[in-house]
Amino acid sequence: MAGRTSRIDPETVSRFAEVLALKDDPASVRRRVEALEHLMEGLVTLPGINRKIGLDVILDLVPIAGDAVAAAMGAYMIWEARNLGMSRWQMTRMAGNVGIDFGLGLIPFVGAIPDFFFRSNTRNLKIIKRHLDKHHPASVTIDVKPPAKS
């Protein structure tokens, strides 16, 4: 079987590797942290109350382990902020947001309620966006909201 060749085209593999590569330019970082914030805070809309929830609230239903996973994902945002060269004060504020979220989430089952209202990842995204808008204006994107349904 040593003589078998792969059916995978090397050019296709290199294109996938290029797409999956974690680029460190500010625009790529902005896209990653926006996607992470959407995953953690706005994945699904609750019917009836028309409020979005994400993995942060859902993971809170798994005691301790769910909170640890959510905190690790929040820490990833802080790591991205560090790579952008953000100040220690900004990263400390972000760590505080993640810490508060983690602490509130440790309350079994009831901890999902504060997570529903205290959106640490959204707060951290705002801090990162403010930094990017000020120090890397070329990465600014315009958010277009769809028109309201009447």
**pLDDT tens column, 43-66:** 888 889 888 999 998 888 888 899
pLDDT, averaged across the chain: 85
- pLDDT class for 18, splitting at 50, 70, 90? low
What is the Cα–Cα distance from 60 to 110, expressed in whole angstroms? 9
- pLDDT class for 138, splitting at 50, 70, 90? confident
Q: What is the pLDDT of residue 150?
A: 59
CB under 8 Å to 108, separation ≥6 — which residues? 63
